[in-house]
Amino acid sequence: MNDTQWQTMLAVIRGENVTPVPVAFIIDSPWLPNWAGMSILDYYASEERWLAANLKAIQEFPECLFLPGFWSEYGMCTEPSAFGAKCLFHDNEFPFAEKLIHTIDDIDQLARPDPRRDGLLPFVIKRLQHAEPRIQAAGHAIRFAVSRGPLNIASFLMGTTEFLMEMKLNPDKIHHLLRLITDFTGDWLAYQRECFPTIDGVLLLDDIVGFIGEEDYQEFAQPYLKELFTTLGVSVRFFHNDSPCAASAPHLHDTGINLYNMGIEVTVKDLQGWTGGQVALMGNIPPRDVLASGTPEDVERAVEAQFRSLSDTRRILFSCGGGMPPKAPTDNIRAFVSKVTALSRR
């Protein structure tokens, strides 16, 4: 993200009128590699190909805010690898981390990872350090420290069903696990900022938050998320959860979140009400059925319907629900940007 785009995003978060309404997308390995003409594994394995794909995106769509921008990641394997999870990589499929907690007592055997040395985390940092001069030469900077959220990491370490069941059966053990993961995640975010002083944002991604009710959100998610969002004192506190959010949405502001990327189960207008207009919202055109599989005309109709539904477009970044979907074509993204721009100027 370049300086102008960063200032635009800060203005949106402050609630200022921004014209045209900005278009923003989370982009990472589900979309970028194949769109740029390479396999997913090539994208992970080659610093040069990873950088080329990201540079191609900012050159092809200079009007878009791409978040977090030059995301150095290994899919869902990044953080679980630091705990010792076995990571499965195929040439052109999403990687997967196998669980390593098989009984509730296995939690007691886990140690707090060191992000400077454990798993894939040192490779994440080195990739960015090697690429940073060329990122800066393109007019951009590394803006975000990024991690999966505590519940998401826990679900990979022990399995989603098992994690949610043990939340009810053994809440003390789950709190112990979440405390350990949160301490590690805090270290990981702080280390990223130590390595890259241009970082002034935190992005946490945690879809498991959408699988629990309001009471469980307040007990098992909010305290840990709030700690991670607020400790570094950054300007942008960005949360992605594209699973159901009715239980958590009224508490997002109190969790320290000021930018939220949601799924498609709710409308942006509903979220404006649930959050009291205190949180900037990023969404939520259907990613698969419209942005990836629709025609440019379908995209334009969906964008216009959402735009017309909003009486106030402050604190809005137009986007899809969740991250950029696999196979989203260039023409559809261009149609998305063009339609938002045209509607903003009427």
Domain containing residue 243: CATH number: 3.20.20.210
Q: Give the model's pLDDT for residue 346.
A: 73
Residue 151 identity: L
Which domain, by its residues, includes 185?
Answer: 3-344
The number of domains in the chain is 1
At residue 274, φ and ψ (nearest 5 deg) are: -65, -30
C-alpha to C-alpha distance for 25 and 317, rounded to whole angstroms: 9
Q: Give the model's pLDDT for residue 184.
A: 98
* Mean pLDDT, the chain, whole residue set: 97
pLDDT in tens, 266-285: 999 999 999 999 999 999 99
Neighbours of 114 (CB within 10 A): 15
- Token pair in block for residue 260: 């939220």
Q: Give the model's pLDDT for residue 89.
A: 97
pLDDT in tens, 122-176: 999 999 999 999 999 999 999 999 999 999 999 999 999 999 999 999 999 999 9
Buried b (16+ CB within 10 A) or exposed e, 317-330: bbbbbbbbbbebbe
pLDDT in tens, 270-329: 999 999 999 999 999 999 999 999 999 999 999 999 999 999 999 999 999 999 999 999
Give percent of the chain above pLDDT 70.
Answer: 100
CA 179, chain centre distance (Å): 21
